[in-house]
Amino acid sequence: MNALGVAFSTAGGLALFLYGLRILSDGLKRALGRRMRGLLERITGRAYRGVIVGALASGILQSSSMTMVLLIGLINAGILTLTQGVGVMLGSEIGTTLTAQMIAFKIGNYYLPILACGFLLGEVFRGKRAGDVGRVILGFGLLFLGMTVMSSGLRGLAESEVILGLLEACGSSVLLGVGVGTAVTAIIQSSSAMTAMVIAMGAAGIITLPAAVALILGANIGTTVTGVIASFGASLSSRRLAAAQVVVNLAGVLLFLPVVVPYAQFVAGTASTLTRQIANAHTFFNVLVTLVSLAAVGGLVWIATRIVPGREAAIDTTPRFLGDEFLRTPSLAVDQAGREVRQMGELTRQMLTACRDGLIDRDESQTGLVLLIEEGVDGLQRAIEGFLDRVDSGQLPEREARRLHVLLHVTGDIERVGDHAVNIGERASLCLRQNLRLSEQAIRELDHMFDKTIAVYARALDALGSEDRSVAEWVLEAEKEIDQLEMRYKENHIRRLRQMQCDATAGILFVEILRNLERIGDHAVNIAGDVLLI
Residue range 492-512: mean pLDDT, rounded? 75
Q: Are residues 302 and 328 in the same domain?
A: no
Query: How far apart are alpha carbons 128 and 522 in whole angstroms?
Result: 37
The tally of CA atoms less than 13 A away on the side-chain side of residue 262 is: 5
Asked whether residue 317 is domain-assigned, the answer is no
- What is the domain range of residue 237? 3-307
Q: What is the mean pLDDT of residues 318-338?
A: 79
- pTM value? 0.56
Query: Taking 70 as the threshold, does the pLDDT of residue 495 lie above it?
Result: yes
Banded model confidence at residue 52, pLDDT cuts 50, 70, 90: confident
Cβ-based neighbour number of residue 339 at 10 Å: 16
**Phi, psi (degrees; rounded to nearest 5) at 125:** -110, 35
Q: CA 403 to CA 283: how far, in whole Å?
A: 40
Residues 379 and 485 in one domain: yes
Examine residue 319 and state whether it is found in any structural domain, yes or no: no
Count of beta carbons in the 10 Å neighbourhood of residue 161? 9
Whether residue 233 is found in the same domain as residue 106 = yes
pLDDT surpassing 70 at residue 320: yes
CATH number at residue 454: 1.20.58.220
Residue 253 domain flag:
yes
Tell me if 312 is assigned to some domain.
Answer: no
For residue 244, pLDDT beyond 80: yes
Q: What share of the chain is helix, strand, coil (3-state, %, to 5)?
A: 85, 0, 15
Position 27 in a domain: yes
**Mean pLDDT score, 480-499:** 83
Q: Tell whether 313 is covered by a domain.
A: no
Kindly indicate the confidence band of residue 266, based on its pLDDT and cuts at 50, 70 and 90: very high
Same domain, 294 and 379: no
Whether 298 and 366 map to the same domain: the answer is no
Check whether 313 has a pLDDT greater than 50.
no
Residues 366 and 285 in one domain: no
- Please count the structural domains in the chain: 2
In a domain, 473, yes or no: yes
Domain check: are 299 and 388 in the same one? no
More confident call, 437 vs 69: 437
Say whether pLDDT at 145 is over 50: yes
> Mind listing the pLDDT tens digit for each residue in 287-306?
898 888 888 888 888 898 88
- Identify whether residues 285 and 395 lie together within a single domain: no
Residues 264 and 352 in one domain: no
Distance CA 298, CA 276 (A): 35
Instruction: Judge whether 316 lies within some domain.
Output: no
Last residue of a domain, one of 275, 307, 339: 307
**Domain C-terminal end among 265, 282, 307:** 307
Mean model confidence pLDDT for the chain: 78
Cα–Cα distances (Å) from 148 to 2, 16, 40, 83, in that order, read 18, 10, 35, 41
Q: Which of 230-234, 324-328, 478-482 has the highest mean pLDDT?
A: 478-482
Give, as one character, the DSSP assignment of residue 313: P
Same domain, 72 and 198: yes
| Of 248, 208, 231, residue with least CA distance to 68 | 231
Do the beta carbons of residue 482 and residue 459 sit within 8 Å? no
When comparing pLDDT for 517 and 129, which is higher?
Answer: 517
The least confident of 143-157, 217-231, 248-262, 387-401 is: 143-157
Selection from 343, 352, 533, 341 nearest residue 455 by Cα: 352
Question: Is residue 398 domain-shared with residue 481, that is, in the same domain?
Answer: yes
**CA 324 to mean position of chain CA atoms:** 8
Residue where one domain finishes, among candidates 262, 279, 307 = 307
Whether residue 144 is found in the same domain as residue 277? yes
The DSSP letter of residue 108 is G
